Copies of this chain bind each other. A is one copy, B any other.
Amino acid sequence: MRIIKDKNAIIRMFHVHKRYGAKQALIDISLDVKKNEFLFVNGPSGAGKSTLLRLLYLGTSVSEGQILVDGINLARIPQSSIPYLRRKIGIIFQDYKLIHTKTVYENVALVLEAMGKKKVIIDKKVKNVLLTVGMKSRQDALPPTLSGGEQQRVAVARAIVGDPKIILADEPTGSLDSESSQAIMDLLEKYYIRGATIIIATHDKSIIKQPDAKVVELSEGRLLSNTKI
């Protein structure tokens, strides 16, 4: 199989299959995501949305097929380069994945510390992004003492604080009321306008409001359609 390079595509998936044991989670997925695209991956519970995102940040590896992210073939990337790949990607996990023993501030700052940024810069950026998601006042709280929606907003803050090229958001508004929900979507749109590529996995079609967004539909591991709203 030849991989055709496309200057405009930041993510390319070629006939990707993913099996968990006997379970076929993704079946023959081929998909190009352009630079600075706003993509929704839609589908019911268990369709494979999270799995698709997971493949992109090497949270798991493909069973078959190939994936290129920002020109890097994920099958060939050495173990030691994975952190650098992940720094290009901001991830909002479906289950938030906040560190329970670190404060909100520390959870968000961690991303920048891992990049080796200076303390003053970290402080400025973290406080700024916490303000944006409305969590500045809770910056010293531990995640287990936050409400579900508050945790989700911290997860969003952590995903965007490093100014990533790509943002992967897995149900980023699942625990949020419509108002907070809209605020988060607006925030993601702001990064989109700044040039980031945004991929949002969701079961909730009502949050898809962007006029220029692309929507793909997953169902039982298969890609159904490839349509704009």
A77 to chain B, nearest CB (A): 25
Contacting residue for A175 out of B43, B94, B177, CB 8 A: B94
Chain A residue total in the interface (Cβ 8 A): 29
B50 close to A148 (CB less than 8 A): yes
Q: Does A46 contact B (CB under 8 A)?
A: yes
Q: Does A45 contact B (CB under 8 A)?
A: yes
Q: Does A178 contact B (CB under 8 A)?
A: yes
A51 / chain B contacts, CB cutoff of 8 Å: 147
B203 close to A176 (CB less than 8 A): yes
A206–B177 alpha-carbon span in the complex (Å): 11
B94 close to A148 (CB less than 8 A): yes
Question: Apart from A44-B149, A45-B153, what 10 extra A-B contacts exist at CB < 8 Å?
Answer: A20-B145, A44-B180, A46-B149, A46-B150, A50-B148, A94-B175, A149-B203, A177-B203, A177-B204, A206-B206
Name 27 interchain pairs, CB-CB below 8 A, sorted by A: A43-B177, A44-B149, A44-B177, A44-B180, A45-B147, A45-B149, A45-B152, A45-B153, A45-B175, A45-B177, A45-B180, A46-B147, A46-B150, A50-B147, A50-B148, A94-B148, A94-B175, A148-B171, A148-B174, A171-B175, A174-B174, A174-B175, A176-B203, A177-B203, A177-B204, A178-B203, A178-B204
